[in-house]
Structure 1
Amino acid sequence: MTCPEGFTSRQWSAYVKRGRDLVQKKTDAQFQLGDLCLEMVPKQRNEFADHGVARVLEAFADQIGLSPRTLTKYRQVAMAWPRDRRAPGVSFSVHMIFAPQPNRFRKILNPPIDPVSGERRWTVNEAERAVGQTPHHPVSREERVNRVRDLLPRHEDAALAVTDMLRRPEVAEQVVADPSARHILHRAEMSRYQQRRDAEPIISEPPPQREPALHYSEAGRELLELLGICTTFYTQMQRVVPSLHVAEYDRKATQTLLDNINRVRAAADWCETVIKTGDTTMDEALAKLLEGET
């Protein structure tokens, strides 16, 4: 038998035996209380109807110092396990886990090997596994993840926990390295973007008065070329940007895009300065930036 640090095997075995004896006494008391409740209020033909069961159990629970819910549980388990079908040495908690199972009488007679003691015996953890529940003390990664899901059924709580976990660099890196996770994040991002757009109020105002567009016959070649570049740029940006899969970009790709956007911004600022001042001089820093030099 595996024992915790600070105990000898003999000491631990003695404590375990005493504990099991106490659990057996508690199990006997729980079944006796359940049988007593069944004696007062026998099994009904239709247990889904009340038949006054709740009223009797509430009064009895109040008189003996237990909650009606506890007594109801004892009665239900005692009803599921007739006296001659209860497994000796198996706790009331395990009987309760198996109570809804149609094959409980056969199943409880075939205990698994306890990974801690090496004995063939039912523990609460093994009983929960046997009926497809997540153990309260998970061992495998799948069980641990399922346990977290059980503990966080509310979306707000789960979102808060995920946000907190993403503050751990190792967790964030593993998440962004998973293509399916990136796809989920991208879909959520696009959905949120669409919701914001749908929520924007529609303002029915007359369109602003615009200056008449410059006719091509009045513009020089260089002006037309510059206008064409600008038009192509913002038209393509309107088409491409909304469909970006940003969540799928790694750090290097993101930085490359940001560097290029910085060059575009610098070029636009330079163009604006030239138009306003007529000075077409390009300083050395700007030239290096546009050439991609660091």
Structure 2
Amino acid sequence: MPTLVLAGGRDTTSRPPLGRAVAELIPGALFEVMEEEAHQPFQEAPDEWNSRVDVAPGDPQGPPGGAGFADRAGARGGRRADLTPPEGKSRWTPDEAKRRTGRQVVKPVTPQEKISAIHTLARDEDVAAAVTTDLLKRPTIAAKLPEQEKVRVVEEFTRDESVATTAATNLLRRPDVAFRAMGDDTARHQVNHAQVEPGRQAREHFEQTSPVTPAIRNIDRSVEFLDLVTACHAFVAAAGRVVPSMRDRQLGEDERTIVHENVARVRATLDWIETAVDTGKVDVDGELAKLLQGE
């Protein structure tokens, strides 16, 4: 609300510097001095007092031309200050004054005022966490979140490894989610790697710590041979079981694309196996590594 602080130049009780200090504490306030008056200028010089605090140009109580407080405040701020109470109101209320000057109100009414009030209260981390939790428990609110925002919220919540593990486990228990997730080559590779990795680590630990490791190295070669042959047999058996069942069945374009990609991966793997068997070299070049990882 536009504010004018008037001081008497000869006031020895509330000296002008005190009035100036008060004005400096009020955003946008004007400070003026009635040089010839003392402590009660509104009684000592009522006409001049009224002329300084007039509220509209041409007001009978104001000076000629209406160059009173409202116009002086407007001249300083770039536009005339409007001191008229809000429509339908006979006087200003604290919230109406704050609303007019763009400050936060005590009792919010409009959606934007309510949002501002919530933001102010939620500056405290504990309050923000409690409010967010309560809001997300309301299905209608959660449903209004854009998909990208939902993804971002899930990513934020799953930065904690234990939370991410629990969430991923629960999601992969849902058949439709698991099916879609395994359609992503990187996700499928990571799952396969996670299944194989514990066995590899256990074997590595055994080889590093067991005193009988040297004695069984020759047996290991036989085990590797058996593992390789078993993998080939398993693949052939699976293909022999699945392919005949596809008689007269037409796959969709996306399904054919996925099958062709996996057939290419199988061919590359078979070439790799033949090279390893014939030469003992198991090095993987960059292209083959990307293909095996589904990149």
- When normalised by structure 1's length, the TM-score is 0.35
Q: Which has the higher contact order (CA 8 A, sep 6+)?
A: 1
